[in-house]
Amino acid sequence: MTTKTAAITAVGGYVPEHVLTNAALEQMVDTNDEWITSRTGIKERRILKPTSLGTSFMAIAAARELVQKKNLDPAAIDLVIVSTATPDMPVSSTAAFVATEIGALNAFAYDLQGACSGFLYGMSAASAHISSGRYQKVLLIGADTMSSIIDYTDRSTCVIFGDGAGAVLFEPNDEDLGLQDEVLRVDGKGREFLKIEAGGSMLPASSDTVAAGKHFLHQEGRPVFKFAVSNMVDAIEQVLDQNNLTKNDIDYVVAHQANKRILDAIAKNLDLDYEQMLVNIERYGNTTAATLPLLLWDYESKLKKNQKLLFTAFGGGFTWGATYLTWAYNT
C-alpha cells in the first residue's frame, strides 16, 4: 500500500444571523468601541439564537453547505470529526448527531476537544485516517457556541468570543498535495489560565458553582496572550525549518483569530508581510475551533492549487501547533 497525502478538497461554513456589535456591548458592560477595536481588532461577532439550537445546528449547516457545493453523496463519507469545546451535551457525541442529520449513514464519528487548537489537531487526525489507506472521505468540522459559556457581565471575555462553524473535506491526493507536516504541542500547566472550573469531574455542577459563575469561561488574558505569541511563533519556525522553507515560500498564514494584536505580533516576529496573513477577526471575534475553517470559507476564492499554507493555533490546555499544507484545487 502506498501512503497518500490527505488534501482539503472542499470547504463549507455557517455563522448565525444575529450580529453582536461593539455598540451593543457598550450597553451591556463597561466597555467602548475604541477599547475593543484597539485591544482586539474585533468590531462584531455572531451569536447563535436561541442557544438551545446547540453547536450541532451550526455544524450541520456548515456540513450541508459543503455537501451541496461539492455535489457529494453524504453516504460516501467515512468519518465525521467535530472539533468543539462546546458540544451539545457533556455526554453524547455531537459528531454522531451531526453525521446522522447530514445523511452520513456509513460513517463513524467522534468529537475532538482541543479548545482553540481543536481544528488544527483535527487536521492531524483527519490526515492520519486518510493516510492509513482505510478511509477516503473525512469530514472535519470546527464548531463552537462560545456564547453558551460566556459571562456577559465579564467585560474581559464577553467582547472577544463569537459563534460559528466551518467544515472541510479531506481526501487522498495523487499529486502529493495536502497536509505535509506539523508540529503539535501541549503544556498542561496552562490550564490554570484558561478554563471552565465547574461542570467536569473535579467540580461537578451544583447550585453553588452556578452562583459563583464557575460554569463560565475564565481566562487570564495577559499570560495567555504571551504564551500564544511565543508558542505559535516557535511552532511555525520549527515546521518551516523541518521542511527547508523560509517565510518567503509561504503564500498564506491561516492563524487562529484570537486577537488582532496576536496576529500582528506573529507577523512581526516572523517578519511576514501582512498580506500573507488571512484575517477576519473583525467580523466574527474568536470562534474557538471554527476560526481556521471560517478563514478558508471566507478566502477560498483566493486560494490556488499548489500554494503553500501555514496553519497555526493556540488554545486552552494549553494546546498549540503549526501545520504545513499545500492547497489542492482552484475554485
Cα–Cα distance, 239 to 235 (Å, whole number) = 6
> Contacting ligand COA (CB under 6 A), which of 97, 121, 297, 314?
314
What end-to-end distance do the CA atoms of the chain give, in Å?
31
Using alpha carbons, select from 53, 62, 101 the residue that is nearest to residue 83: 62
> Contacting ligand COA (CB under 6 A), which of 15, 72, 116, 289?
116
Nearer to ligand COA, 61 or 255 (CB): 255
SS3 269: helix
Using alpha carbons, select from 292, 316, 284 the residue that is nearest to residue 47: 284
Using alpha carbons, select from 256, 63, 40, 59 the residue that is nearest to residue 163: 59
Of 22, 231, 259, 286, the active-site residue reads: 286
Cα–Cα distance, 191 to 217 (Å, whole number) = 12
Specify the stretch interacting with ligand COA by CB under 6 A; choose among 6-14, 98-106, 154-162, 176-184.
Answer: 154-162
> Contacting ligand COA (CB under 6 A), which of 315, 324, 327, 328?
315
Smallest separation (angstroms) from ligand COA to the CB of 307: 26
Contacts of ligand COA in 195-224 (CB under 6 A)? 219, 221-222, 224
Smallest separation (angstroms) from ligand COA to the CB of 222: 5
Cα–Cα distance, 81 to 94 (Å, whole number) = 9
Of 22, 116, 173, 215, the active-site residue reads: 116
Catalytic residues: 116, 256, 286
Which chain residues interact with ligand COA by CB under 6 A? 31, 35-36, 39-40, 116, 155-156, 159, 194, 219, 221-222, 224-225, 228, 258-259, 286, 314-315
